[in-house]
Amino acid sequence: MSGTHHVPSQSGPVVEAIRAAIVSGDYVPDQRLVETDLSERFSASRGAVRSALLQLGNEGLVERVPHRGARVRAVPLAEAIEILEVRMAVEGLCAAKAAQRVTETEIAELRGIREGMAAAVESGAVMAYSELNNRLHRRMLEMSGQRTAGGVIERLRGQAVRHQFRLAMQPGRPSVSLPEHLAIIDAICSRDPAAAEEAARQHLGSVIRALRGTAAPGPGTAVPDSGTS
Amino acid sequence: MSGTHHVPSQSGPVVEAIRAAIVSGDYVPDQRLVETDLSERFSASRGAVRSALLQLGNEGLVERVPHRGARVRAVPLAEAIEILEVRMAVEGLCAAKAAQRVTETEIAELRGIREGMAAAVESGAVMAYSELNNRLHRRMLEMSGQRTAGGVIERLRGQAVRHQFRLAMQPGRPSVSLPEHLAIIDAICSRDPAAAEEAARQHLGSVIRALRGTAAPGPGTAVPDSGTS
DNA sequence: GGCGACAATATTGTTACCAATTCTCCGGCA
DNA sequence: TGCCGGAGAATTGGTAACAATATTGTCGCC
For A13-72, the fitting CATH number among 1.10.260.40, 3.50.50.60, 1.10.10.10, 1.10.3470.10 is: 1.10.10.10
Give the domain A77-213 fold. Four Helix Bundle (Hemerythrin (Met), subunit A) (1.20.120)
What's the CA–C1' distance between A67 and D25, in Å?
20
Q: Which residue of B has its CA nearest to A59?
A: B58
Q: Which residues contact A173 (CB under 8 A, 6 or more apart)?
A: A167, A210
Domain definitions of chain A by residue range: 13-72, 77-213
Show residues of chain B in contact with A59, CB under 8 Å: 58
Secondary structure of residue A63 in the 3-state scheme: strand
State the smallest CA–CA distance between residue B58 and chain A in angstroms.
7
Nucleotides of strand D lying closer than 7 angstroms to a protein CB: 11-17, 20-23
CB contact under 8 A, A89 and B85: no
Contacts A–B by Cβ distance under 8 A = 74
**Predicted confidence (pLDDT) per residue in A28-67, tens digit:** 999 999 999 999 999 999 999 999 999 999 999 999 999 9
C-beta neighbour count of A90 within 10 angstroms: 29
**Predicted confidence (pLDDT) per residue in B58-84, tens digit:** 899 999 999 999 999 999 999 999 999
* CATH superfamily ID and name for B77-212: GntR ligand-binding domain-like (1.20.120.530)
Contact B199, B137 (CB under 8 A): no
Number of helical H runs and strand E runs in chain B: 9, 3
Q: A47 beta carbon < 7 A from strand D?
A: yes
Q: Which of A77, A155, A88, A79 lies closest to B197 in space, CA to CA?
A: A88
Phi first, then psi: give them for residue B206, nearest 5 degrees. -65, -40
CB contact under 8 A, A57 and B156: no
Q: A49 beta carbon < 7 A from strand C?
A: no
Q: Do domains B13-72 and B77-212 have the same CATH topology?
A: no
**Predicted confidence (pLDDT) per residue in A96-152, tens digit:** 999 999 999 999 999 999 999 999 999 999 999 999 999 999 999 999 999 999 999
- How far is residue A36's CA from residue B159's CA, in Å, rounded to a whole number? 35
CB contact under 8 A, A83 and B148: yes
